[in-house]
Amino acid sequence: MLNRIFGLETEYGLLVHQDRPDHSPTWFAHKIRDHLFQVRRRGVLDLHHRGHDEPPGNGGFLTNAGRIYLDMGHLEYASPECHSLTDAVATDRAGDAILQQAIEEAGLADHVSLIKNNVDHETDATFGSHENYLVSRRFPFTRRGLGPLVTFLVTRQIFTGSGRVGAARPQDAWIQMDRLIVPRAATGQGPGGPHLPFQISQRADHIVNDFFEWVQQNRAIVNTRDEPLADPNQYRRIHLLLGDSNMAEYATALKLGTTGLVLQLIEDGTAPRDLDIVEPVEALQDISQDQDRRWLVQLHSGKTISAIDIQEQFLEAAERRYRGQDEETDWVLQQWRSVLQDLRGDYERLVGRVDWASKLWLLESFREAEKLDWSDPMLKSLDLEYHNLHPGKGLYYGLMEEGRVPRLITDKAIALATEHPPRNTRAFGRGELVRHLLACGSPPEAEHSKPDERYFPSYVINWSIFQLRGQAPFPMPDPFRTYVQEVRDHLSLA
């Protein structure tokens, strides 16, 4: 799409198949990482500290220029930079395939399942699906400028949510009010933790701010951290952590594509106005929890309006400005309108395209067949199985086998994306670097290194720069450039 770089970060759950397991999910996560990097050599491990919680060896870059690492005990996959929705979907699915294949190759498939969801029903913990969008540094990153984005994000869950059984307990978190940071409980805000049969979003209950910089325990609709991972004079990275992990390729593409177009509307100063929501966080949770699926929100203007009506206003603005812009934009506009029309009718029309609808249909079918109440624990188990990445066990893959799931990409494209990066972003150059380092063999062990080598590893790789020992740093500040020939020339001197 025009002037846009996309990226996804996915944290995975690991479900251990024992009532009293010998090993923790974190133990299995370490085994899977070690198999990928040390046995299969799918990439190169970091040799440097990336932060206080990322020591050397915690993770590394892959040959497809994405990253796999451990975050708070979870396996996490960050896709390479993508300039198209098809590449974004392919590289997202590639992360699933890489990790699932590692589980099977390492002989762990009988012991643990990889779950691409966002909630732990037992502990009430949440783990994220983060979205990244490159915008110009001129983007109006202020509360007023971001107002349309907040409204859009609060309401887009009607087609991007993955759905869940039940609700999370009230979140113990801190929020910003004026210039003070106060406990959320002191404001009287937040979900009351009612028993709910089903809601459309997994992350909504865990979002406690409209804007906030840090992510742990203060998850916001818009994360305000300024970390462009590119030339900071030209670019800003919009980092979102309110969304659900999607199994459906259609939902992933629509989530990224519609958000990209709304960012473009904001950049051009043509986003719909007068749609500011009175309490965005509460509206986010109310929409998710609305059992009647009316999805009403109150605006500062005093008007009450449905999430579908709000989405249609953004759609119509994008249609006026961007129809004919490129093939992917036209696909997004067409499917955006189609899904909103279908949301006004029977939700079963959305099975295969929208994850919450697919999951609800499966759960309702099972409930009716087995005469179960929504409180039956079996439904939470089926909730998890929808996200199981084992093709023979996951309920989403069952829908795919039945022909109920529209495909945007092929299995061949996913297999290609597990090994190779997109060829039209700087990921291409980084992939060349990783392949070069793998061909050169593993670096010497620290105990056998010379004293000066212990302080400067043989390579350091970050998203926008790398350095080989003995050579000058090689910056890659423009994500739209491949740098592939420059990287090859640089490596020929090594």
pLDDT digit string (tens) for 144-184?
999 999 999 999 999 999 999 999 987 655 555 544 454 54
Do residues 220 and 211 touch, judged by C-beta distance below 8 A? yes
By the 8 A CB rule, do 114 and 100 touch? yes
Residue 454 — very low, low, confident or very high, per pLDDT cuts 50/70/90? low
- First and final C-alpha spacing in the chain: 36
Across 60-64, 71-75, 145-149, 286-290, least confident range: 71-75
Give the C-alpha separation, 479 to 482, whole Å. Answer: 7
Residue 60 has pLDDT above 50, yes or no: yes
Delimit the domains of the chain by residue range.
Answer: 1-116+411-494, 129-354
pLDDT of residue 218: 75
Q: Are 334 and 327 in contact (CB under 8 A)?
A: no
Q: What angle do CA 486, 490, 494 make, to 5 degrees?
A: 165
Please list, in sequence order, all residues whose beta carbon lies within 8 angstroms of the beta carbon of residue 196, skipping any fewer than 6 positions away.
166, 167, 289, 291
Active-site residue 71, yes or no?
yes
The predicted structure's pLDDT at residue 395: 98
pTM of the model: 0.93
pLDDT score of 21:
84
Whole-number average pLDDT of the chain? 92
For residue 389, what is the DSSP state?
A: -
Tokens of 76: 């996490």
Q: How far apart are CA 334 and CA 345, in angstroms?
A: 18
Identify the weakest region by mean pLDDT among 124-138, 329-343, 350-364, 438-452.
Answer: 438-452
Count the helices and strands in the chain (H runs, E runs). Answer: 14, 19
Mean pLDDT of 296-308: 97
* pLDDT over threshold 80, residue 233: yes
Q: Which two tokens stand for residue 36?
A: 């990928």
pLDDT, residue 237, reads 97
Any idea what DSSP says for residue 84?
S
pLDDT value of position 441: 86
Residue 247 near residue 162, CB atoms below 8 Å: yes
Residues 258-265 have a mean pLDDT of 98
> CA 134, 135, 136, 141 torsion: positive or negative?
negative
Catalytic residue among 22, 34, 53, 71: 71
User: Per-residue pLDDT for 193 more than 90?
Assistant: no
Confidence grade of residue 445 (pLDDT, cut at 50, 70, 90): very low
CA separation for the pair 283, 280 (Å, rounded): 5
Q: In this predicted model, what pLDDT tens digit does every residue of 421-434 receive, in sequence order?
A: 999 999 999 999 99
Which amino acid, one-letter code, is at 485?
Q
* Residue of 365, 368, 366, 342 whose CA lies nearest to 353: 342
What is the spatial distance between Cα 182 and Cα 175, in angstroms, rounded to a whole number?
A: 6
Give pLDDT, residue 439.
Answer: 96
Residues 283-289 have a mean pLDDT of 98
- Residues 44 and 63: their CA atoms lie apart, in Å, by 8
Whether 245 and 10 have beta carbons less than 8 Å apart is answered as: yes
For residue 53, the model assigns a pLDDT of: 79
